[in-house]
Structure 1
């Protein structure tokens, strides 16, 4: 999944006309012959829709409804402006993909249709942690399409050379294994740059912490929370096993390219990054293994950031029922299974976790889903992530010797400034 940060600032102001457009489909666009002569337009982001899944869903939809499906691929760069404009027009795309942490901004602007009844019909058993990013003010404004979370991708040869016979079940066991690699091999135990802030967000989730808090009716930084500080200290311990720069993120350089050289014990990464490593060095393929990021105690994985996309129906679409029929098909258990098998995404239901066996990365990711979460699901959060991301600066400050409390005092003014920006 390759995506740039999409700032949602200004979405509400640019979508004031959406509510007036309404969601008043005439009811004639139902499945079966009701779709004949109609075309449903769907926007997917580049790289999101796997080819076999797309072919399968399109064939099922067109056969069942008699309508045509028009898939339009969009680029992440600049999508905020383009989607904002499209959703405020008289004839918007009927179904749109929206990054899960950006959904709240569009929902607050009244741009998305209520899908509560459809969720009950097709997603009653979806994991709550995956669905929560599709709920805004207790309203189901979208449906989760795909989600991925980080796992440990490790070099089995290096671990064997260090005398390690099994994967760790607790955080302390993981640290012990990394220490063994450091002492018994020439490899770098872990490649963890100082600003892999999505991993840090997972650690804060594992500590039961939030990066922001509501104070007097407005959102402010919560970096000074002792639980956030504990997460920062855990991150610092992980980073002590790495020679990676403290002021760079996992994409600068691409950590998968570093791992591909075969001199790194492990990286904490999205499962698809193994494919990037294999492409860079095909000889490493048989050396790659995966395991769930372990937490403090056995059987309870570390908290993880659940990143992915939702599918939503435009509030102004005149094909509401046809759009919902598309979602019934696209998000069916069978087609969800196809997404897991073809793209390696995390299963949305505990009962479908067995599908992940065909994808070792997905199998490693699945156990952590129940305890996973996201960045704060508020429209104000989008501005916080804009470059230069202050959470990254906070991590670098901690790694360079500042106490978590001192780093928080240094950074929280900038976070509060961004949280106060008008949406």
Structure 2
């Protein structure tokens, strides 16, 4: 039986108690001390701030109102916390960052390279000091300063409908990509109108979730750091090749939705919950969303399971644990004291990470019940930061190569090629490797 069978009750309880919220987390200061980010240590939180979020599904449902109410109760001189939900978060924030008007608190977009952090965001503290209290801060740190803290810690893997998989006769986690493909085929062969795997091609950003397996495939926390030293990351032996090769094979073998160009993210959550979709590659942050969608459709939250990426090293599954979006403070903000107070309060007092069935960014944070069984079956690894002085090297090569792995368009192209058959799997690899080698040469790596 799937290990998830042992945690179904925990999943259901987590779903019942889920209080979905904004993003959050931060640095420095405990819950009883007023945080500061700039001169004027005696300043108290007051006035108003604007907080940007990508969680449009939570705007207007009362969730943010609850958090704002609690925050204002603690800091009565705060007159308002305005929440702005942005549908195309990355795109809209990137455009707004051409001006000074991109809120007071916001999740740091993936397009901001490490060396650009200080240009757009207020430093939150010394990286070494903050690392004593918070996990996964290296992603948004540069030159010894931290500019953001993850809102919650995720493990990376695959969300699936347990009923669908069991109905297809699959009772164990697939341990290799070939086993995974065989299991998806078993689901398809049941003759039911089910998409064995849903790509969410049209919304595109979910395709970037596959990057979560980098490092897990070969159990190598230095995979990304080593990738900058290779001209050929896309091979059958390396994580990038295994990941993108599996995407190609799943599509080429007809094991996804019939027409990827018509996918719908919001609809897909309900489809997974009701069994119209069997599998989606997403971080653990997606679990409560899938549970809620399942229950809203009259299905059971207990049908939502979570499995590791289909690869083992020495007979053991591995999964990358890391931070979600990092909250930071707009360097141009006129109210940095209150912005910092919001982040610190949210991180320490909101209970957000627990409600999201995620790991706390606090070093001493507990593992949520819904992930305990997964963690017991899978060895978690945290990716190592880039060496000093090379924090931007990966991003520089990535940009110079023209691939831009942070942009899901390159994986949409893989899906297109697999559907059309215009390029073979090896041709896709050859083109990616040639572009990567070109990028390395341009930046002198």
Relative to the length of structure 1, the TM-score reads: 0.66
Distance between the aligned counterparts of 1:52 and 1:160, measured in 2?
Answer: 35
In structure 1, the partner of 2:360 is: 347
1:144-196, Cα deviation, whole Å (9 max, x unpaired): 223545543333333333444x4427346655654554566746572243956
Distance between the aligned counterparts of 1:183 and 1:345, measured in 2?
Answer: 34
In structure 2, the partner of 1:200 is: 210
1:187-222, Cα deviation, whole Å (9 max, x unpaired): 65722439563243234443455499658xxx9995
In structure 1, the partner of 2:173 is: 168
Distance between the aligned counterparts of 1:24 and 1:146, measured in 2?
Answer: 22
Cα distance 1:224–1:168, how it changes in 2: closer, same or farther (>3 A)? closer
State whether structure 2 residue 261 is matched by structure 1 residue 256. Answer: no
* 1:339 to partner: Cα distance: 0.8
Counterparts of residues 103-142 of structure 1 (less than 5 Å)? 103-104=112-113, 107-108=116-117, 110-117=119-126, 120=129, 124-127=132-135, 130-142=136-148
**2:395 counterpart (378, 386, 400):** 378
State whether structure 2 residue 310 is matched by structure 1 residue 300. Answer: no
Distance between the aligned counterparts of 2:158 and 2:352, measured in 1?
Answer: 21
State whether structure 2 residue 361 is matched by structure 1 residue 330. Answer: no
State whether structure 2 residue 331 is matched by structure 1 residue 315. Answer: yes
Distance between the aligned counterparts of 2:37 and 2:344, measured in 1?
Answer: 20
Q: How well do the aligned residues superpose, as a CA RMSD in angstroms?
A: 4.9
Cα distance 1:242–1:224, how it changes in 2: closer, same or farther (>3 A)? closer
Counterparts of residues 213-232 of structure 1 (less than 5 Å)? 223=234, 227=238, 228-232=240-244
Cα distance 1:242–1:179, how it changes in 2: closer, same or farther (>3 A)? closer
* 1:68 to partner: Cα distance: 0.7
* 1:60 to partner: Cα distance: 4.9
* 1:78 to partner: Cα distance: 2.4
* 1:108 to partner: Cα distance: 4.4
Cα distance 1:401–1:66, how it changes in 2: closer, same or farther (>3 A)? same
| Higher mean C-alpha displacement, 373-382 vs 344-353 | 373-382
State whether structure 2 residue 75 is matched by structure 1 residue 59. Answer: no
**2:412 counterpart (367, 392, 395):** 392
Query: Match of 1:390, SS?
Result: helix
Q: Does the aligned pair in 2 maintain the 1:41–1:70 contact within 8 Å? A: yes
Cα distance 1:290–1:276, how it changes in 2: closer, same or farther (>3 A)? same
Relative to the length of structure 2, the TM-score reads: 0.63
Distance between the aligned counterparts of 1:26 and 1:211, measured in 2?
Answer: 37
1:96-118, Cα deviation, whole Å (9 max, x unpaired): 21245234378346222222348
State whether structure 2 residue 427 is matched by structure 1 residue 406. Answer: yes
Distance between the aligned counterparts of 1:212 and 1:108, measured in 2?
Answer: 23
1:207-241, Cα deviation, whole Å (9 max, x unpaired): 455499658xxx99955796232333334455547
- How many residue pairs were aligned? 376
State whether structure 2 residue 158 is matched by structure 1 residue 152. Answer: yes
State whether structure 2 residue 114 is matched by structure 1 residue 102. Answer: no
Cα distance 1:289–1:230, how it changes in 2: closer, same or farther (>3 A)? closer
* 1:407 to partner: Cα distance: 1.4
Q: Does the aligned pair in 2 maintain the 1:148–1:345 contact within 8 Å? A: yes
Structure 1, gaps ≥5 residues long: 4-22
Cα distance 1:339–1:401, how it changes in 2: closer, same or farther (>3 A)? same
In structure 2, the partner of 1:78 is: 92
Distance between the aligned counterparts of 1:364 and 1:41, measured in 2?
Answer: 39
In structure 2, the partner of 1:19 is: none
Distance between the aligned counterparts of 1:70 and 1:255, measured in 2?
Answer: 35
Structure 2, gaps ≥5 residues long: 1-19, 23-35, 386-391
Query: Match of 1:300, SS?
Result: strand
* 1:404 to partner: Cα distance: 4.2
